């Protein structure tokens, strides 16, 4: 009894002791672990080794961090970006990473690639930005060491001269280099020479990068080839006789023909061009995904949202007087569009309707976002307890909410129609060809939105066939996890979707393979049929092959006609005999003169550049195959012209182009020959400089690729960091 009374009397003290014991139980294992390790975390302890025997300590990292801050104060990041040079731009991202700026730079680099001004794959650009997050102190130290080892050293005086030149430009003459350097020196307890030495280190890295990546490898023959391809062009007019225009004139293929065609190409993806398969026949099924979707038409939602009040419109006008559309820039002289631009503020009456539309759109989009966010909470709410990295597809499936039930619930709650359904296993072309799903996209950090089709095919369950998403695109979705909110380019739809089934590429089990696509029915016309029937595809290909004889016969008949009468009369006769009737356009002609102007040969280098440009894009294989096909057609035209010149032959001439199962009756061909040797010599140096520039700029990304920097230096971590995670002097990857 006395014991019980004592416990009651001292309950507060006992609880305090109990809490302390629990705390010790949690702390003691890690404390004992720390005590059992040798004391190696002093500022001079090696954190990394490189080049075999060199060390990077915590003190080195702290010093590098301090120098990078000094460089930022000297506006070095702005200076690098202002160079408009790939080398400097990438170096800026390595040493002064900013996520928002990085996304913009990535987009700009990809635009340059698409303009043929860089020989870099977009996938490599993505990899650079993926690797360059954090570790700026390490890259700075390693590149500085490489420059020093190569004997590239910039004197502080030279650094000072550069700063004297660029600081007034960067600050619009609001500051000078001496004042800036002295202020930084005073703030950091340094001398001005020490500040200049830091900037000289950066200049050494810049110079070293330029020396290593600049190339002069373009040969004389390469320059002449580039010049010839740039200056030689062809204009050609022809009438095409394609076998597909005659398929209605052949009998249905026999079972044996269908089976033979299917068996020959069932393991080849459609459009794959080879020497054995120049046409690109193929019936292998590409990777496919099935999608659940919820789609809302914004016009349906608009009916439930009240229009903005006059008070709301007036408030917006008062709060945004200095912004468009209220304030815009106009020429100072209305009669001179090239005169100085000045700001002009519009009256309330001028912009009231525009503001009303802006506010109405905002309300609609806000309501749509609210509805879909609520839908995601209901369908994905049970995922919160899961470890996304470890949970299996079956676990996600078991916890996924019912899209159909949630659609009905939110439709009733918000009085708006929600289009809901589940598609069949669809190809990329199926989704992209759909008027609803094909236009849906989602914003990430990049200025360019990512299409639903790319997100859907990026699910990890597709393995090596999964689409590759860039570091500034939305993260690759998990199966049964909602993607969205999504919107279409025209702003008419908003949606969420999820992948519920996948299939990797495989040969069809039989010629009888088919599927209903189960695409959304929003009252829009789809670009493709609602059902895929493999036998129909194979049958059409067989008929094209059978129809080549008729196409050849028609082309030869047309050749005879144009030899004896004018082209218009010949076209009228051939259309009357072989042409098809178009119910929508009675004046449409199956066969007509088609022009191709200013066409140039496509080299192997051009094809390789195309492959690099489209790498990672959806349907990239189709783009490459089409480029190969077009290049072969152009080569055929040029070869025909050369043969005509050799034989002193005049058009019309018949050209057989087997890869397209087509015959071309050439009306005329005109070739602008490559310039003369004297003209080549006049621009030879410029061509060499341009090509060297492209090649050197393209080499930069490999040189500055983070993993390549650490690989060249044989960087190895000596021990895991146990320092305070809040220590801002530590490299980002160690936190």
- Tracing tokens 């408009």 back to the chain, one arrives at 84
**Contacting residues for 94 by C-beta, under 8 A, at least 6 apart:** 132, 136, 139, 143, 704, 706
Most confident of 6-15, 465-474, 668-677, 717-726: 465-474
Residue among 44, 49, 71, 42 at smallest CA distance from 145: 49
Q: CB-hemisphere CA count at 13 Å for 222?
A: 14
Residues 431, 437 contacting (CB under 8 angstroms): yes
Residue among 318, 237, 146 at smallest CA distance from 665: 237
Pairing relationship of beta strands 493-503 and 288-297 according to DSSP bridges: antiparallel
Give the span between the Cα atoms of 450 and 443, in whole angstroms: 6
H or E stretch covering 261: helix 255-265
Condensed to tens digits (0 to 9), the pLDDT of residues 574-591 reads 999 999 888 788 788 899
Please give the residue that has the higher pLDDT: either 634 or 528. Answer: 634
In this model, does residue 280 exceed pLDDT 60?
Answer: yes
- Examine the domain organization and report whether 667 and 577 are in the same domain: yes
Task: Give 74-121 as a DSSP string.
Answer: TTHHHHHHHT--HHHHHHHHHHS--HHHHHHHHHHHHHHHHTTS----
In this model, does residue 501 exceed pLDDT 90?
Answer: yes
- Examine the domain organization and report whether 328 and 200 are in the same domain: no
Please give the residue that has the higher pLDDT: either 40 or 663. Answer: 663
Predicted local confidence at residue 22, as pLDDT = 46
Residue among 516, 316, 499 at smallest CA distance from 424: 516
Question: Which whole number is the average pLDDT over 643-669?
Answer: 94
- Examine the domain organization and report whether 51 and 29 are in the same domain: no
Question: Which whole number is the average pLDDT over 344-371?
Answer: 91
In this model, does residue 285 exceed pLDDT 50?
Answer: yes
Question: Which whole number is the average pLDDT over 149-158?
Answer: 93
- Examine the domain organization and report whether 394 and 325 are in the same domain: no
Helix/strand/coil for 554: helix
Condensed to tens digits (0 to 9), the pLDDT of residues 388-436 reads 889 999 999 999 999 999 999 999 999 999 999 999 999 999 999 999 9
Give the span between the Cα atoms of 208 and 459, in whole angstroms: 42
Give the span between the Cα atoms of 539 and 529, in whole angstroms: 16
Confidence category of residue 689, pLDDT binned at 50, 70, 90: low
Residue among 499, 490, 495 at smallest CA distance from 456: 499
Predicted local confidence at residue 688, as pLDDT = 66
Predicted local confidence at residue 630, as pLDDT = 93
Residue 271 lies in a domain: no
Question: Which whole number is the average pLDDT over 565-569?
Answer: 94
Residue 493 lies in a domain: yes
Task: Give 722-734 as a DSSP string.
Answer: -S-TT-TTS-GGG
Confidence category of residue 613, pLDDT binned at 50, 70, 90: confident
In this model, does residue 720 exceed pLDDT 70?
Answer: no
Residue 222 lies in a domain: no
In this model, does residue 137 exceed pLDDT 80?
Answer: yes
Residue among 724, 721, 699 at smallest CA distance from 135: 721
Task: Give 319-367 as a DSSP string.
Answer: HTTTSTTTEEEEESSTT-TTSPEEEEEPPHHHHHHHHHHHHHHHHHHHH
In this model, does residue 553 exceed pLDDT 90?
Answer: yes
Confidence category of residue 25, pLDDT binned at 50, 70, 90: very low
Predicted local confidence at residue 409, as pLDDT = 96
The residue among 491, 515, 532 that closes a domain is 532
- Examine the domain organization and report whether 511 and 541 are in the same domain: no
In this model, does residue 1 exceed pLDDT 80?
Answer: no
Residue 678 lies in a domain: no
Number of structural domains found in the chain: 5
Partners of 285 in beta bridges: 506
- Examine the domain organization and report whether 431 and 520 are in the same domain: yes
| Sign of the alpha-carbon dihedral angle for 114, 119, 120, 121 | positive
Query: In degrees rounded to 5, what are phi and psi of residue 483?
Result: -105, 125
Residue 277 lies in a domain: no
Residue 272 lies in a domain: no
- Examine the domain organization and report whether 52 and 158 are in the same domain: yes
- Examine the domain organization and report whether 397 and 509 are in the same domain: yes
Query: In degrees rounded to 5, what are phi and psi of residue 149?
Result: -65, -30
- Examine the domain organization and report whether 625 and 641 are in the same domain: yes
Q: What is the mean pLDDT of the chain?
A: 86
In this model, does residue 696 exceed pLDDT 90?
Answer: no
Residue 292 lies in a domain: yes
E strands along 209-314, which residues? 233-242, 288-297
Predicted local confidence at residue 110, as pLDDT = 87
Give the span between the Cα atoms of 573 and 577, in whole angstroms: 6
Most confident of 16-25, 438-447, 669-678: 438-447
Question: With left for phi above 0 and alpha for psi between -120 and 50, is residue 671 left, alpha or beta?
Answer: beta
Predicted local confidence at residue 220, as pLDDT = 66
Question: Which whole number is the average pLDDT over 259-274?
Answer: 95
- Determine the structural domain holding residue 336 and report its residue range: 303-350
Query: In degrees rounded to 5, what are phi and psi of residue 629?
Result: -60, -45
Residue 268 lies in a domain: no
- Weakest-pLDDT range from 115-119, 566-570, 681-685: 681-685
**Contacting residues for 380 by C-beta, under 8 A, at least 6 apart:** 400, 401, 481, 482
H or E stretch covering 599: strand 593-599
E strands along 404-545, which residues? 419-422, 440-442, 450-451, 483-488, 493-503, 514-516, 531-533
The residue among 532, 561, 577 that closes a domain is 532
Predicted local confidence at residue 113, as pLDDT = 82
Predicted local confidence at residue 733, as pLDDT = 41
Print burial letters for 582-610: b (CB count within 10 Å at least 16), e (below 16): eeeeeeeebbeeeeeeebbbbeeeeeebb
- Examine the domain organization and report whether 307 and 297 are in the same domain: no
- Examine the domain organization and report whether 100 and 22 are in the same domain: no
Residues 81, 88 contacting (CB under 8 angstroms): yes
H or E stretch covering 598: strand 593-599
Please give the residue that has the higher pLDDT: either 685 or 572. Answer: 572
Question: Which whole number is the average pLDDT over 22-39?
Answer: 45
Predicted local confidence at residue 447, as pLDDT = 82
Pairing relationship of beta strands 54-57 and 440-442 according to DSSP bridges: unpaired
Question: Which whole number is the average pLDDT over 437-446?
Answer: 90
Question: Which whole number is the average pLDDT over 442-468?
Answer: 92
Question: Which whole number is the average pLDDT over 159-176?
Answer: 89
Confidence category of residue 15, pLDDT binned at 50, 70, 90: low
Predicted local confidence at residue 193, as pLDDT = 93
Predicted local confidence at residue 4, as pLDDT = 40
H or E stretch covering 671: strand 662-672
In this model, does residue 317 exceed pLDDT 80?
Answer: yes
Confidence category of residue 21, pLDDT binned at 50, 70, 90: very low
Note the pTM of the prediction, 2 decimals: 0.80
The residue among 642, 672, 702 that closes a domain is 672
Predicted local confidence at residue 218, as pLDDT = 62
- Examine the domain organization and report whether 107 and 30 are in the same domain: no
Residues of the chain above pLDDT 90, percent: 59
In this model, does residue 23 exceed pLDDT 60?
Answer: no
């Amino acid at each position: 009894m006395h014991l019980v009374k004592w416990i009651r009397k001292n309950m507060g003290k006992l609880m305090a002791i109990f809490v302390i014991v629990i705390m010790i139980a949690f702390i003691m294992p890690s404390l004992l672990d720390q005590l059992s390790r040798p004391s190696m975390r002093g500022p001079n302890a090696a954190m990394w080794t490189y080049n075999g025997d060199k060390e990077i300590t915590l003190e080195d990292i702290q010093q590098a961090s301090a120098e990078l801050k000094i460089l930022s104060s000297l506006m070095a990041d702005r200076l690098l970006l202002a160079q408009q040079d790939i080398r400097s731009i990438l170096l800026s991202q390595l040493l002064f990473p900013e996520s928002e700026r990085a996304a913009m730079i990535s987009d700009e680099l990809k635009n340059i690639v698409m303009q043929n001004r860089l020989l870099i794959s977009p996938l490599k650009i993505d990899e650079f930005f993926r690797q360059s997050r954090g570790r700026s102190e390490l890259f700075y130290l390693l590149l500085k060491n490489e420059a020093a080892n190569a004997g590239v050293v910039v004197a502080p005086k030279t650094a000072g001269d550069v700063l004297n030149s660029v600081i007034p430009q960067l600050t619009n003459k609001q500051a000078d280099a001496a004042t800036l350097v002295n202020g930084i020196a005073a703030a950091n307890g340094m001398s001005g020479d020490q500040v200049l030495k830091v900037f000289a280190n950066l200049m050494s890295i810049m110079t070293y990068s330029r020396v290593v990546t600049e190339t002069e490898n373009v040969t004389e023959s390469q320059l002449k080839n580039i010049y010839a391809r740039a200056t030689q062009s062809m204009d050609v007019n022809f009438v095409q006789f394609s076998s597909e225009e005659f398929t209605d004139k052949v009998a249905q293929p026999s079972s044996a023909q269908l089976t033979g065609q299917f068996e020959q190409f069932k393991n080849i993806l459609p459009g794959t061009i080879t020497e054995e398969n120049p046409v690109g026949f193929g019936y292998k099924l590409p990777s496919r995904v099935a999608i659940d979707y919820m789609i809302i038409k914004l016009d349906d939602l608009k009916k439930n949202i009240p229009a903005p009040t006059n008070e709301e419109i007036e408030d917006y006008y008062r709060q945004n007087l200095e912004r468009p559309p209220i304030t815009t820039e106009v020429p100072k002289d209305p009669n001179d569009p090239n005169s100085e631009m000045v700001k002009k503020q519009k009256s309330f009456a001028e912009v009231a309707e525009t503001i009303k539309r802006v506010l109405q759109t905002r309300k609609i989009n806000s309501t749509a976002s609210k509805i879909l966010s609520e839908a995601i909470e209901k369908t994905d709410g049970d995922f919160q307890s899961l470890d996304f990295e470890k949970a299996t597809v079956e676990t996600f499936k078991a916890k996924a909410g019912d899209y159909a039930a949630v659609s009905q619930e939110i439709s009733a709650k918000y009085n708006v129609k929600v289009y809901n359904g589940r598609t069949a296993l669809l190809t990329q072309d199926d989704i992209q060809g759909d008027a609803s799903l094909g236009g849906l996209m989602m914003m990430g950090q990049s200025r360019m939105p990512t299409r639903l089709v790319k997100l859907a095919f990026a699910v990890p369950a597709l393995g090596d066939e999964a689409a590759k998403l860039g570091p500034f695109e939305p993260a690759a979705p998990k199966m049964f996890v909602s993607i969205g909110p999504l919107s279409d380019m025209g702003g008419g739809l908003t949606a969420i979707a999820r992948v519920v089934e996948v299939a990797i590429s495989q040969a069809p089990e039989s010629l009888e393979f088919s599927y209903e696509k189960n695409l959304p029915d929003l009252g829009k016309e789809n670009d493709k049929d609602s059902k895929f029937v493999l036998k129909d595809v194979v049958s059409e290909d067989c008929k094209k092959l059978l129809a080549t004889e008729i196409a050849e016969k028609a082309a030869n008949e047309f050749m005879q006609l144009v030899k004896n009468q004018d082209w218009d009369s010949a076209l009228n006769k051939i259309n009357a005999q072989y042409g098809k009737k178009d119910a929508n356009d009675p004046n449409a002609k199956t066969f007509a003169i088609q022009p191709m102007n200013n066409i140039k040969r496509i080299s192997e280098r051009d094809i390789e550049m195309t492959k690099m440009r489209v790498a990672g894009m959806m349907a990239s294989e189709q783009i490459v195959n089409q480029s190969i096909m077009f290049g072969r057609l152009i080569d055929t035209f040029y070869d025909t012209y050369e043969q005509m010149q050799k034989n002193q032959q005049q058009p019309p001439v018949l050209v057989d182009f087997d890869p397209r199962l087509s015959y071309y009756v050439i009306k005329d061909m005109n070739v602008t020959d490559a310039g003369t040797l004297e003209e080549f010599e006049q621009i030879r140096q410029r061509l060499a400089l341009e090509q060297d520039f492209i090649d050197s700029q393209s080499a930069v990304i490999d040189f500055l690729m983070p993993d390549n920097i650490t690989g060249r230096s044989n960087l190895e971590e000596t021990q895991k960091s146990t320092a305070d995670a809040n220590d801002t002097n530590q490299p980002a990857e160690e936190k």
